[in-house]
Amino acid sequence: MSVAEEIVLAEIEAGYRLRPATQVGLMIVMVLLGLFIIEQAKLPLDVSIMVATIYVALLYPLIIKIRHRLAIALSFGLYGAALAAILYWIITGHILPLVQGGQAVRLEALALYVIFLEIVGMELFHHLCEEYVFYERDWRSYLMVSLLSVVFFACLYIFLSAYALGFMALLLSAVLTIIFAWAVLPEKPI
């Protein structure tokens, strides 16, 4: 998008966007309300931190519509924090108890966790870092989608193969990978 197009878009959006101070104030009120509700739930500290991080990361782009370098940096920071919180939850809640109990973590379970992280990570990226989603279908976006799709296909095939589906596992993996790639492929904003 050219600079002139961005200026016109900003002028059009200005009519129905809240003022930046109002956006920040609303965000503070909503975060404090969310933290109060999380605190009232009497969750363990680590769970409270994870839930609060994900809550703020999901709430931020819905309220804050400021196009400023600091807002974009904060958006990337929230993306990383939310992804780290989800990864921490998977490791401490699911993988470590198995390892500490002397059980081996099954390959199918790890494959499913990778699929989950890949889908959640991409959706969080689209949600929080909208300014940096590749809207042009160039070699970078195709390379990124190809790499993500290869990992998705391999993990899905490993997961489905555990159910002795044979050729059906391969076919389902291919179809679901095509759907995943289509969902991840960049599209021009409306």
Under DSSP, is residue 61 helix (H, G, I), strand (E, B) or coil?
Answer: helix
Token pair, residue 51, equals 């839930």
Q: Where do the domains of the chain lie?
A: 3-104
pLDDT value at residue 81: 92
Model pLDDT for residues 5-60, shown as the tens digit of each residue: 767 766 776 667 788 888 889 999 999 999 999 999 999 999 999 999 999 998 98
* pLDDT band, residue 115 (cuts 50/70/90): very high
What percent of the chain has a predicted confidence (pLDDT) above 70? 87
pTM for the full model?
0.73
- Give the residue carrying structure tokens 């990570």: 121
Structure tokens belonging to residue 99: 């390892």
CB-based contact 119:180 (threshold 8 Å):
yes
Contact 26, 63 (CB under 8 A): yes
Task: Please give the mean pLDDT across all residues of the chain.
Answer: 85
Whole-number pLDDT of residue 134? 58
Quote the pLDDT of residue 137.
67
Contact 85, 68 (CB under 8 A): no
How far apart CA 50 and CA 60 sit, in angstroms, is: 16
What is the distance of C-alpha 129 from the center of its chain? Answer: 10
Cα distance from N-terminal residue to C-terminal residue, the chain = 13
